[in-house]
Amino acid sequence: MLHSRSGSLALKKTLLILAAVVLAPVLVASLAVFAAGDWRTIGYTEAGDKVSVSSVRVLRGNQRLALVRVEYKEPAALPQGGPFVEMRARVRFNCTTGVATPSTVWFYSRDRSGRFVVSKKATRDDQFGKKPEGGFLELVSKSVCGQTK
């Protein structure tokens, strides 16, 4: 009986550790994306959409990792659907080549009470920052690649 009980406790402990290992990166990524206290407005698009960046990290090879947020002045119908009121993305910038590669993009709309709702999540976005999404890529690249720490 004692052996069975210790085996059960060991299994529960293993499952708990496994769950923590699997869920920790998701939690950290979610907290980083939703961190609102450190957004820094870097400018506006031609349409008046507010562009902000957060959590810029300098990586090797003249690369940067940053969170990018665009608050659309008017709800935007984008190639991904819509209308969206905001877009947030985790983006890797190669400051040597000028290439920006979003690893994850979230598009938000508002529900009837006015709260943000994630309407769409994409792991690939070929139009990121280009004209169809507001034309903010050059503005963001200059800001992010201009930071040294």
Q: Which domain holds residue 61?
A: 40-145
> In total, how many domains does the chain have?
2
Q: Could you tell me the pTM of the whole model?
A: 0.68
Residues 30 and 103 in one domain: no
Does the pLDDT value for residue 41 go beyond 90? yes
Residues 14 and 45 in one domain: no
Residue 65 and residue 19 share a domain: no
pLDDT of residue 29: 40
Cβ proximity of 29 and 42 under 8 Å: no
Same domain, 27 and 79: no
